[in-house]
Structure 1
Amino acid sequence: MTHGGRGVSGVDGVRGKPLVVVGDVLLDEDVEGDATRLAPDAPVPVVEVAGRRSRPGGAGVAAALAARDGREVVLVAALGGDPASDAVRSMLPPGVRLAELPLDGTLPVKSRVLAGGRPVVRMDRGGGTPGPAGPTVRRALAEAGAILVADYGQGTVAAVRGALAEAARRVPVVWDPHPRGRAPVPSTRLVTPNEREARLFCGAEGGEGDTLRAHSRRGALLAERWGAAAVAVTLGCRGAVLARAHCDDPLYVPLAKEHDGDPCGAGDCFAATAACVLADGGLPPEAVGLATEAAATFVGLGGMASLGAGEGPTVGGEPAAPRAGGDPFALVEAVRAGGGTVVAAGGCFDLLHAGHVQFLQDARRTGDCLIVCVNSDASVRRLKGQGRPFNPAADRIRVLAGLGCVDAVAAFDEDTPEALLRRLRPDVWVKGGDYSVRDLPEAAALREWGGQTLVLPYLDGRSTTELARRAAFRVP
């Protein structure tokens, strides 16, 4: 698993301590084949079996994914003396060290039948009760540099909850919740429910709606309820929303590229990547950004089938080419008439650079069209001073309109685009990650018609001012 910018393995991480994965382990079995006909005695597909595959499931998947970059991982889980438990022990990768709780009963086994790579039916069997934590488990939690919790409600997390609550006060804890599990302990650094789980945990208080605003509101509600630093609501092919309690600045992280495939295990990949980034000293926005791309790539590489295939998922990929556009006001009418989402973004865009392009590509993915609101020459001069802009408005507009992710461009003469936005009335207004929603005067205008202001991640180290300085002084 590649973490991108930091590139720090668990062996050389800033903490120098292992990542501890705590949770319920099970045995996953996949029966794979093709279905080209129905059974003669019932309207069910007949699967011609081509092969079988077994692997550790539940917290075992998260531990295996976290260990793929060479870091030291300790898996705290309940295992017994049954064949399924023995199979899991034998299949864990060399980088995962076990700290076992006793298991009274048998390890759960989850069996899926897949036809053409898609699940047809799932069968569950087995189950047991974890016993008390011994000295090996207590020592592993005390020596953890970071902790990932995968609570499937089978009792492992409940057995060590007190130790987890203490650990959350001193090291980063990522909690991957499940409907049958318990609430995260207070001070958890990041909780990672998917959108269905977030709705379930919020109940009626979370409200309805499938908008980014609705998902971020549920994330903020859960962060407050659980006493967590942040909640990342994962949205599948739409990316993720990072929210905090009592904060109206949600961070939306779109996918650079959508991947088609079996999503089983994507949530484990997301949580494992986020935990690794936090273990290496990263912050939640960075963790969520890298985790979103890693989970999507994991699906694209075959999901669970890729776990034994050598090289792990990496972050990257080019976005799909958006459609072209034209007059901004006509475009707004057409998109809105079709029930689409209108997105607007703004800036000077003088000396267009890679940071601008990344920002605009991400903005375009939040809706069905992107209109760029660009400062006029006089507006740029008032904001940036004499000597700016370097490129006149006509040139800047032409360059922006030539980008595949831009559907239309509109210029404004004022210091802020508020007047233009009131004419366009976009559903979403986006700004780069170095802004706060509460500091943007446009945010108040958006609220007038129920629009949403979002802050998107920006590509660090790219700056028009820095480009101009290097060009002027010929800095290599």
Structure 2
Amino acid sequence: MDRDIQAVVVGDVMLDSWLRGPVKRIAQEAPVPVVSVEATEDAPGGAGNTAANLAALGARVRLIGPVGDDACAEQLATALSLLGVDARMVTVPGRRTPHKQRLMVGEQLIARYDEEDRDPIPAAAEARVIEELRESLPGADVVIACDYGAGGCTDAVRRALAGLPLLVVDAHAITPWRTCAPAVVLPNYGEVLQLLGEDGGHDDRVRFLTERSGRLLAESGARMVVTTLDGEGTLLHQEGRPPYRTYAEPAPDHMTTGAGDTYTAAFALWLAGGAAPEQAAQAAQAAAGVVVRRPGTATCTRQELLRALHREDGRAQTPERLAARLDEHRRRGQRIVFTNGCFDVLHRGHVTYLERAARLGDVLVVAVNSDASTARLKGPGRPINSCEDRMSVLAALGYVDYVISFEEDTPERLLRMVRPDLYVKGGDYTPEMLQEAPLVRAMGGEVRVLDYVSDRSTTAIIERVRSLPEEDPAGPS
């Protein structure tokens, strides 16, 4: 995503406040803890948090939404300006700016109390919001509507957004947005149940949503639906395709909020930059993974997301997670290629071999011997580079899709989980000489041996380096 993107965000803006401190005593008035507040953190919330994330990710952002004539609105304006957001707030006299305040003791949420008015904004404010939209929409690459039921997204505002080529809607209630024909809607599980008119209590939420993929698209009126499932990741629904799943990072111990806003911002931005929806979903999940590791209301920068994507694309953290991701590729009819090795000192022979392997399919998985496994296979003094370093170098190759390590001397356990369509090895032997060949064939896969580039050997490189004369520490005379 390299384009300079202009994004417009419209909807319910709020202020998030986090009050933190210890409990030192119980109140005399009632048996409740007394929290001695030692720190207060304020941040834009709702549509403001979506706009802040877009700015952090590198977009030029204009935010339009109603606020009250109060101190919270002033705090929001200052914070948004510092974050690089062009805030076009519409002040509504007599109305309160939505303010969510969370009282924290350590990482425990003790109470949350909200100050807000949820009635639709009056006609005069509505007209000013629409006027700001008319001024902003012609230059926008993507428009994001944040409708949290706080009164900023009226019927007239929705009509002003109808028919836009790239309208992304994050709304508590999806049905009112159907007539806008949005490009994307992003309901959570509870909002999906409301949209479909169904009850909860489903043990397998992923299966439940997969079976109703067509209904979700029809009921929402959107070209794409992203259903968010917190710790279970997301499902991307598109017409004529099986749902595409992303996987969330393990839940942190601390209290965080707004990861959904981060997801929405990254997904919208990647789509506007020309990425495929599946790529946008992966980027959005990675961005959400950055902010859930932070307490409070946080944003993800472009640099942080690119680093997260590099780690995410290059490495599957567990064999189980890798297998689940490959199942998604397999459902889309993609051919899985698997190879393995120590890759201790990466050289031209490795690179040529891996590039040739990648051309034999759609997804290339590279399994790397761990440090202990490499030492057993190669002998004392090996590996030269740690497993983490070797994996990082391999992950940087554009044609390598997944890198994973294994502790055993052979990758048979991984092969049983990955079930590749093609198992590739490099060397001057035949497939029948490979210990893993019968297993791969029993699972319906193919085995192929590719020649290494001649006169390229890790061992030879290491020996040449070791044979070089040591440099005089004193330097040349």
TM-score (norm 1): 0.65
- Residue 100 of structure 1 contacts residue 137 of structure 1 at CA under 8 Å; is this kept in 2? no
User: Is the contact between residue 372 and residue 410 of structure 1 (CA under 8 Å) also seen in structure 2?
Assistant: no
Is 1:232 the equivalent of 2:271? no
1:31 matched to 2:19: yes
Partner of 1:215: 209
Q: Among residues 172, 186, 189, which one is paired with 1:192 in the alignment? A: 186
Partner of 2:395: none
Write the mapping of 1:414-429 to structure 2, written as runs, cut at 5 A: none
Q: Tell me by how many angstroms 1:218 deviates.
A: 4.2
- Deviation of the 1:223 alpha carbon: 1.7
Distance apart, 1:356 and its partner CA: 1.3
Question: 1:347 and 1:56, CA in 2 relative to 1: closer, same or farther beyond 3 A?
Answer: closer
- The CA deviation at 1:133 is 3.0
For 2:85, which of 90, 93, 96 is the aligned residue?
96
Superposed CA deviations along residues 139-169 of structure 1, whole A, max 9, x for unmatched, are 11233110111101123222411121132xx
2:150 counterpart letter in structure 1: Q
8 Å Cα contact 1:232-1:243 kept in structure 2? yes
Q: Does 1:162 align with 2:159?
A: yes
Q: How far is 1:396 from its partner?
A: 6.8
CA deviation profile, 1:180-201 (whole Å, cap 9, x unmatched): 9943554322222222322332
**Bigger CA drift: 206-215 or 345-354?**
345-354
Cα distance in 1 for partners of 2:25, 2:10 equals: 43
Equivalent-residue separation in structure 2 for 1:140 and 1:88 (angstroms): 20
Q: Aligned pair in 2 of structure 1 residues 87, 258: CA closer, same or farther (>3 Å)?
A: closer
Q: Is the 8 A contact 1:206 1:217 kept in 2?
A: no
Q: Distance in 1 between matches of 2:59 and 2:454?
A: 44
Q: For residue 372 of structure 1, what is the aligned residue in structure 2?
A: 417
Structure 2 residue identity aligned to 1:372: M
- Counterpart in the other structure of 1:397: 436
Equivalent of 1:241 in 232, 235, 243: 235
- Asked if the contact 1:32–1:117 (Cα under 8 Å) also holds between the matched residues in 2, the reply is no
Larger radius of gyration: 2
**What SS does the corresponding residue of 1:223 show, helix, strand or coil?**
helix
Aligned position for 1:444: none
2:137 is matched with which residue? 141
**TM-score, normalized by length of structure 2?**
0.65
What is the SS of the residue equivalent to 1:62? helix
SS in 1 for 2:8: strand
Q: 2:436 is aligned with what amino acid?
A: I
- CA contact 1:32–1:114 (8 Å) conserved in 2: yes
Task: Tell me whether 1:151 sits opposite 2:144 in the alignment.
Answer: no
1:113 match: 103
Note closer, same or farther for the CA distance 1:375–1:302 as it changes in structure 2 (3 Å cut).
closer
The question of whether the paired residues in 1 share the 8 Å contact of 2:257 and 2:296 is answered with yes
- AA partner of residue 151 (structure 2): G
Q: Deviation at 1:210?
A: 2.4
Q: Which amino acid aligns with 1:161?
A: R
From 51, 63, 68, the equivalent of 2:39 is 51
The match for 1:356 is 365
**Structure 1 pair 48/372, CA: closer, same or farther in 2 (3 Å)?**
same
Match of 2:285 among 261, 271, 292: 292
* 1:68/1:312 contact within 8 Å kept: no
Larger CA deviation: 175-184 vs 63-72: 175-184
Instruction: Indicate how the Cα distance of structure 1 residues 277 and 322 shifts in structure 2: closer, same or farther if over 3 A, else same.
Output: closer
Which of 167, 173, 176 is the equivalent residue of 2:167? 173
The 2-side partners of 1:67 and 1:244 are apart by 28
Q: Deviations over 1:438-462 (max 9, x none)?
A: xxxxxxxxxxxxxxxxxxxxxxxxx
Distance 2:420 2:289 in 1: 36
Rounded Cα–Cα distance in structure 2 between residues aligned with 1:390 and 1:254: 39
Q: Equivalent residue of 1:148, what SS?
A: strand
Moved more, 47-56 or 253-262: 253-262
Give me the whole-angstrom Cα distance separating, in 2, the residues matched to 1:391 and 1:193: 53
Amino acid across the alignment from 1:283: A
Partner of 1:280: 273
Paired residues of 1:164 and 1:185 also in contact (CA < 8 A): no
CA contact (8 A) 1:350 1:390 kept: no
2:202 equivalent to 1:201:
no
Q: How many pairs does the alignment contain? A: 370
Structure 1 unaligned spans of 5+: 1-5, 325-342, 362-368, 382-386, 399-408, 418-463
- State the alpha-carbon separation in 1 of the partners of residues 8 and 273 from structure 2: 13
**1:326-381: CA deviation from partner (whole Å, max 9, x where unpaired):** xxxxxxxxxxxxxxxxx8989563567693155587xxxxxxx99436479xx989
Deviation at 1:412, TM superposition (A): 4.0
- After TM superposition, give the deviation of residue 70 of structure 1 in Å: 3.5
| Alignment partners' CA distance in 1, 2:435 and 2:145 | 49
DSSP-derived class of the 1:356 partner:
strand
